[in-house]
Chains A and B, each alone.
Chain A
Amino acid sequence: MSIMKKALASAAMATVMLAQPALADDVRIALVVKALGIGFFEAANEGAQEAAAELGDVEIIYTGPTSTTAEGQIEVINALIAQGVDAIAISANDPDAVAPALQRAMDRGITVISWDSGVAPAGRQMHLNPSSPELIGNTIIKLAADHLPDGGDVAILSATSTSTNQNIWIEEATKVLPDYPGINLVATVYGDDLADKSYREAQGLMSTYPDLRAIIAPTTVGILAASQAVADAGKIGEVNVTGLGLPSEMAGAVESGATVSFAIWNPIDLGYAATMISYNLLKGEATAEPGATISMGRIGEAVLDENNEAAMSDPFTYDASNIDEFKSIF
């Protein structure tokens, strides 16, 4: 059914493309994703369409290979260069392999930015990260603190002790702890991103620390396993599980109450922001250089660091009020 829909959509698209020269004034921004048919990216496209509607004179070309290969993305990039699109905003399958093709795009006057998964600096003008380690570290503590007005013991359930991302986030989280008086971090344990090990570590935390009020898991595997462990131990309402999770996986935990709220980037905002930034860059409203600020419409402003990278925003918080909307997306 989805294939049928896509075939029809492409037929429609082909018809539209036939009429293309008439729409030549429109700015064409290509949103290149890792692969088509992934909920996360379909949602990003929704955000891009929202930005296009707001801007008025923008046509979004949502495209990508069928499987997540760099070679497939290069074929797509070549086709986009040939069409002379105005901008390419890409979530890359390989930061290095797509760089030569994107460099050629830039040589031919196309604005190129990367978002979500970045491209090596030589292959793009700027990169938009969904968030930053500082913002993520702060968010995961805040999520726990919000539901502990009187403070209490919290513990972190991470991936592996060598997971680069998690370690940076935890480091940033411990830095902001003094801002949350009463929140007492009692332990950091590692579930190795394995469901069963994470589950046992969460059980261990609850028995070792009887006063534990929250488990913070900055990993999608850990948060799911911990919420299951809390539910199985009958401690819903007593121990709150939070951290970074996927709405589709966490819907059950939010419903049962084991997790009051959790966070992750919002793909709709990401697609919206990438489109806004591309538009502003190609219209010359902003230049991609260290220290520059570029407007992202309703989301605010992106500030570029010395590597021409910017963080979009705090991770987006999901709870009972919006989980139903997002659980079908990713």
Chain B
Amino acid sequence: MTQTLRTGRAIPDRLQSPAMRALRSWESILVAVAIAIFVTNSFTSPYFLNAWNLSDATFNFTEKAMIALAMALLIISGEIDLSVASIIALASTAMGVAMQAGAGVPMLVLIGIGTGVLCGAFNGILVAGMGLPSIVVTIGTMSLFRGIAYIVLGDRAFTGYPPGFAYFGQGYVWWVFSFELVLFTVLAVIYWALLHRTSFGRAVYAIGNNATAAQFSGIRVARVKFILFLLTGLMSGIAAVCLTSRLGSTRPSIAAGFELEVVTMVVLGGVSILGGSGSILGVVLAALIMGMVTFGFGLLNVPGIVMSIFLGVLLISVIALPRLFGRK
């Protein structure tokens, strides 16, 4: 019986399967959950419905959500990148070194993003170029990138970033809309267009469903995968700029544990961890939900472990639900 299930899932044509229909409605479930959490929060805490407080709350997820956008594409294509948090650490360290050498704000941003892209390219060469499994490669680079940051910094910290640099993580574009939130919104629209409105996006789905078939139908699989790793590195670099600016300092332990939260966001957003399905809208909704849950529980001073339990249960239900639907 398990055997039939397994072969059943390996059949590539998911687009017309019941799972796809369940997925279609997955976004609506997420919207419902988001509204429910929003309403619950408004009733349980008198401090929730306040523009500034809500704006503060977005800082809980914007950096992770930016990476989740690129991670979604990568996971849809059937790969994963667990080194994203370590890329942040290395990019932030590179910015710190540049800052001490007297680099100005534009240079710092360029170096942060550039380091991210280089790290992504390194992952991409190993996975797409040499055909190594991404989970193993990125577990390796996870230690490697952060290890370099530890060697450079030890138990020290880089502080004293130039005043203008604080804008990326602490500045506001207009009223309560922070730079990070606006940037995330813009990026989300770009990624939505890339995945859902271009042939590149369709290639990503095709590879995730059946890489061999995609290869035979003329898609340059390795190239697409390489680009996806570049994008994940790029987003990690951007996130590193924002986070470093928000913290105003760099320590090698920066962004510790972010990789799992990013993957959680992606999977909660309805992206199949096995690849082949998922949407940007779902990921954005999942990011909002995680941010609101964290903030809402925080307002009630609920211990963090209860939040973890809640998110764990939510995540397991996300994975279990499609399978339950599939059995029907």
Interface of A toward B, CB cutoff 8 Å:
3, 6-7, 9-10, 13-14, 17-18, 20-21, 36-37, 61, 63-67, 69-72, 74-76, 78-84, 94-97, 99-100, 120
Inter-subunit contact B157/A10 (CB<8 Å): no
Q: A69 to chain B: which residues have CB within 8 Å?
A: 253, 256-257
Q: How far is the CB of A141 from chain B (nearest CB, A)?
A: 29
Inter-subunit contact A82/B159 (CB<8 Å): no
Inter-subunit contact B257/A6 (CB<8 Å): no
B305 within 8 A of A: yes
Inter-subunit contact B257/A97 (CB<8 Å): no
Inter-subunit contact B300/A78 (CB<8 Å): no
Which of B45-53, B66-74, B175-183, B269-277 lines the interface with chain A? B45-53
Q: How far is the CA of A112 from the CA of B50 in the complex (A)?
A: 23
Cross-interface CB contact of B295 among A65, A78, A94, A97, cutoff 8 Å? A78
Which residues 248-305 of B sit at the A interface, judged by CB distance below 8 A? 248-249, 251, 253-258, 294-295, 298-305
Q: How far is the CB of B161 from chain A (nearest CB, A)?
A: 10
Q: How far is the CA of A9 from the CA of B47 in the complex (A)?
A: 21
Q: List 26 A-B residue pairs with CB atoms under 8 Å apart, sorted by A's residue number.
A: A6-B306, A10-B303, A10-B306, A13-B301, A13-B302, A14-B44, A17-B299, A66-B304, A66-B305, A70-B251, A71-B256, A74-B59, A74-B246, A75-B294, A76-B298, A76-B304, A78-B295, A79-B301, A81-B56, A82-B47, A82-B57, A83-B45, A84-B47, A94-B249, A95-B157, A97-B248
Q: How far is the CB of B266 from chain A (nearest CB, A)?
A: 19
Inter-subunit contact B299/A83 (CB<8 Å): yes
Q: How far is the CB of B75 from chain A (nearest CB, A)?
A: 23
Inter-subunit contact A79/B295 (CB<8 Å): yes
Nearest-neighbor residue (CB-CB) of A94 within chain B: B251
Whether A75 contacts B298 in the complex (CB less than 8 A), given A81-B56, A82-B47, A84-B47, comes out as yes
Cross-interface CB contact of A96 among B251, B300, B302, B305, cutoff 8 Å? B251
Inter-subunit contact B300/A13 (CB<8 Å): yes
Q: How far is the CB of A294 from chain B (nearest CB, A)?
A: 26
Inter-subunit contact A70/B298 (CB<8 Å): no
Inter-subunit contact B159/A120 (CB<8 Å): yes
B130 within 8 A of A: no
Listed residue (A75, A81, A83) with the most chain B CB atoms within 10 angstroms of its CB:
A75
Q: How far is the CB of A302 from chain B (nearest CB, A)?
A: 26
Nearest-neighbor residue (CB-CB) of A64 within chain B: B304
B308 within 8 A of A: yes
For B, the interface residue count at a CB cutoff of 8 angstroms equals 43
Q: How far is the CA of A95 from the CA of B254 in the complex (A)?
A: 13
**SS class, residues of chain A in contact with chain B:** helix
B219 within 8 A of A: no
Inter-subunit contact A18/B44 (CB<8 Å): yes
Inter-subunit contact B249/A79 (CB<8 Å): no
Inter-subunit contact B44/A82 (CB<8 Å): no
B185 within 8 A of A: no
Inter-subunit contact B53/A82 (CB<8 Å): yes
B170 within 8 A of A: yes
Q: A80 to chain B: which residues have CB within 8 Å?
A: 298
Q: A65 to chain B: which residues have CB within 8 Å?
A: 304
Inter-subunit contact B302/A66 (CB<8 Å): no
Q: How far is the CB of A29 from chain B (nearest CB, A)?
A: 12
Cross-interface CB contact of B304 among A36, A61, A70, cutoff 8 Å? A36
Q: B298 to chain A: which residues have CB within 8 Å?
A: 75-76, 78-80, 82
B210 within 8 A of A: no
Inter-subunit contact A100/B170 (CB<8 Å): yes
Q: How far is the CA of A82 from the CA of B291 in the complex (A)?
A: 14
Q: How far is the CA of A91 from the CA of B169 in the complex (A)?
A: 23
Enumerate the 9 nearest inter-chain pairs by beta-carbon distance, A residue then B residue, closest first: A79-B298, A96-B249, A66-B304, A82-B53, A97-B247, A10-B302, A78-B56, A100-B248, A96-B159
Q: How far is the CA of A22 from the CA of B243 in the complex (A)?
A: 38
Q: How far is the CB of A60 from chain B (nearest CB, A)?
A: 10
Q: How far is the CA of A21 from the CA of B243 in the complex (A)?
A: 35
Which residues 147-194 of B sit at the A interface, judged by CB distance below 8 A? 157, 159, 166, 169-170
Inter-subunit contact B246/A100 (CB<8 Å): yes
Q: How far is the CB of A292 from chain B (nearest CB, A)?
A: 26
Q: How far is the CA of A61 from the CA of B301 in the complex (A)?
A: 7
Q: How far is the CA of A79 from the CA of B306 in the complex (A)?
A: 16
B309 within 8 A of A: yes
Inter-subunit contact B157/A94 (CB<8 Å): yes
Listed residue (B53, B60, B243, B305) with the most chain A CB atoms within 10 angstroms of its CB:
B305
Q: How far is the CA of A100 from the CA of B171 in the complex (A)?
A: 12
Q: A100 to chain B: which residues have CB within 8 Å?
A: 166, 169-170, 246-248
Inter-subunit contact A75/B170 (CB<8 Å): no
Q: How far is the CA of A63 from the CA of B304 in the complex (A)?
A: 8
Q: B295 to chain A: which residues have CB within 8 Å?
A: 75, 78-79, 82
Inter-subunit contact A70/B56 (CB<8 Å): no
Inter-subunit contact B60/A75 (CB<8 Å): yes
Q: A17 to chain B: which residues have CB within 8 Å?
A: 44-45, 299-301
Cross-interface CB contact of B303 among A18, A20, A36, A120, cutoff 8 Å? A36
Q: How far is the CB of B273 from chain A (nearest CB, A)?
A: 23
Inter-subunit contact A82/B299 (CB<8 Å): yes
Q: How far is the CB of A122 from chain B (nearest CB, A)?
A: 9
Q: How far is the CA of A18 from the CA of B159 in the complex (A)?
A: 41
Listed residue (A67, A69, A84, A97) with the most chain B CB atoms within 10 angstroms of its CB:
A97
Q: How far is the CA of A189 from the CA of B57 in the complex (A)?
A: 52
